[in-house]
Amino acid sequence: MDNQTHVVIVYPHPDDESFGGAGIIKKFRQEGVPVTYLCGTLGEMGRNMGTPTFANRETLADIRKEELKDACEYLDIDYQYLGYRDKTIEFEKQEEVANHIKEVLETLQPSLVVTHYPEHGVHPDHNALGAATIEAVRLMDKADRPTVWASAITNDFEKVLGEPDIVYSIEDDFEYKLNAILKHKSQAEGMFEKMQDTSGEHQVFVDGLKNRLGKERFFTWKFED
Amino acid sequence: MKPIEKVKVQEMLDGFTDKPVYIHLETTNGAYASHFDNVGVNVGAYIRNAQVTFTNAVIKGDISYRVGLKTELGWIYAEGVTDWEIYRDKDLLLAGHDLEGRLMVALQISEQPFK
Ligand SMILES: [Zn+2]
């Protein structure tokens, strides 16, 4: 986990970086390690339109771009888009996506790449981009390969894969992660409303979130060849 | 978007008849339906920028609406539409949202391809 020189996170949607990585991002930034988010799509096919709705199918892309900009400013990281369309990555030729990512990684020269664990990402874009990212690193010369951390989020991943070897807790500073998530207003405003609730419900809700998001866990990917 | 105003939407629909237009049609229960909500299966379909010409376009219903477009050889149909908006001055956006504001269905018509 220590001695990184550049961390690159490859996830498909604006908000995946905050839900999945706000904790480790904070840790790396505090150590002065640069972090870059490679965001696969604009999340333009998202179903959440704000609560109450303020986006529509056509405006959602630009709104989410602004939200990601805000989130990355807050997290103090760089970001780039890979230019795919939300919900379609699994239909692209994997080899093309992998080569594309490989090119970007060769420019950025990360020491660590974070992505979704293929088949354990729940969303088809998570699975497809995770698989393409791992393939991109596999295509590199062995000596040049960065470390890869893969995050699994299926309900049963521990049963299938065992315990992740990397566990980072942001529970003591959970507010930080929540604030990052809430930068994605169109996606998180429903959550935001529940946060404002001052009745007993509020704490129950926050505790539930903390349970689900308070620990960021990753499997260090083992390449066979 | 704003709640459907049936007469205005019908006027817009009439303006798109008998000329080539681009359609976005979509329905979804979300990519996380089976993960969080336990509804079993993720269901969705979408077509973006299909070019069609329709001879007849009608909005029916109240509270939640149905929109049918009759083409030369067939039909395009959306159900559960609750809101509308005019986008880029002349594109018609129709959508249906659930109680939490999440999109369930969308039908959009434009004389220019959608981005
Ligand atoms: Zn995602």
The answer as to whether A2 is a domain residue is: no
The answer as to whether B15 is a domain residue is: yes
Among B97, B108, B110, B114, the strongest candidate for a mutation testing the A interface, having the largest count of A CBs within 10 A, is B97
The answer as to whether A49 is a domain residue is: yes
- Collapsing DSSP states into helix, strand and coil, what is residue B58? strand
Cross-chain Cβ contact A49/B26 below 8 Å: no
| pLDDT less than 50: residues of chain A | none
Q: How far is B54 from chain A (nearest CA, A)?
A: 22
Provide the number of structural domains found in chain B.
Answer: 1
Q: Which strand (E) or helix (H) includes residue A62?
A: helix A60-75
Among B103, B105, B107, the strongest candidate for a mutation testing the A interface, having the largest count of A CBs within 10 A, is B103
CA of B36 to the centre of ligand 1 (A): 14
Q: What is the pLDDT of residue A212?
A: 86
Q: Which residues surround ligand 1, an ion (CB under 5 A)?
A: A 13, 16
- C-alpha A104/C-alpha A92 separation (Å) is 18
Q: Which strand (E) or helix (H) includes residue A220?
A: strand A215-220
Q: Which domain holds residue A173?
A: 7-220
DSSP strand pairing (B75-81 vs A215-220): unpaired
Q: Which residues contact A54 (CB under 8 A, 6 or more apart)?
A: A63, A186
Give the closest residue to A218 by CA, choosing from A153, A170, A173, A122. Answer: A153
State pTM to two decimals: 0.90
**pLDDT above 70 (res B31):** no
Kindly report the backbone phi and psi dihedral angles of residue A124, in degrees, each rounded to the nearest multiple of 5, phi listed first.
-55, -35
Q: What is the pLDDT of residue A152?
A: 97
The answer as to whether A189 is a domain residue is: yes
- C-alpha A119/C-alpha A161 separation (Å) is 11
The answer as to whether A1 is a domain residue is: no
Provide the number of structural domains found in chain A.
Answer: 1
Q: Which residues contact A49 (CB under 8 A, 6 or more apart)?
A: A55, A56, A60, A186, B97, B101, B102, B103
Q: How far is A155 from chain B (nearest CA, A)?
A: 7
Q: Which domain holds residue B103?
A: 2-110
- C-alpha B44/C-alpha B25 separation (Å) is 11
The number of beta carbons lying within 10 Å of the beta carbon of residue B33 is: 17
DSSP, res A123: S
Q: What is the pLDDT of residue A190?
A: 73
Q: How far is B18 from chain A (nearest CA, A)?
A: 24
Q: What is the pLDDT of residue A133?
A: 98
Tell me the chain B residues in contact with residue A155 when contact means C-beta distances shorter than 8 Å. 35
Among the partner-chain residues B30, B85, B104, the one whose CB lies closest to the CB of A56 is B85
- C-alpha A78/C-alpha A36 separation (Å) is 5
Q: What is the pLDDT of residue A71?
A: 98
List the end-to-end C-alpha distance of chain A, in Å, as a whole number.
23
The answer as to whether B59 is a domain residue is: yes
Q: What is the pLDDT of residue B46?
A: 94
The answer as to whether B115 is a domain residue is: no
Least confident of A74-83, B27-36, B100-109: B27-36
- C-alpha A142/C-alpha A8 separation (Å) is 18
- Which pLDDT band holds residue B15 (cuts at 50, 70, 90)? very high
The answer as to whether B90 is a domain residue is: yes
- Which pLDDT band holds residue B33 (cuts at 50, 70, 90)? low
Q: What is the pLDDT of residue A192?
A: 67
The answer as to whether B97 is a domain residue is: yes
pLDDT digits (tens, 9 = 90+) for B66-84: 999 999 889 999 999 999 9
Cross-chain Cβ contact A58/B87 below 8 Å: yes
The CATH code of the domain that includes B84 is 2.70.180.10
Q: What is the pLDDT of residue B38?
A: 61
The CATH code of the domain that includes A100 is 3.40.50.10320
Kindly report the backbone phi and psi dihedral angles of residue B4, in degrees, each rounded to the nearest multiple of 5, phi listed first.
-50, 130
The answer as to whether B66 is a domain residue is: yes
CA nearest to B104 within chain A: A47
Cross-chain Cβ contact A53/B83 below 8 Å: yes
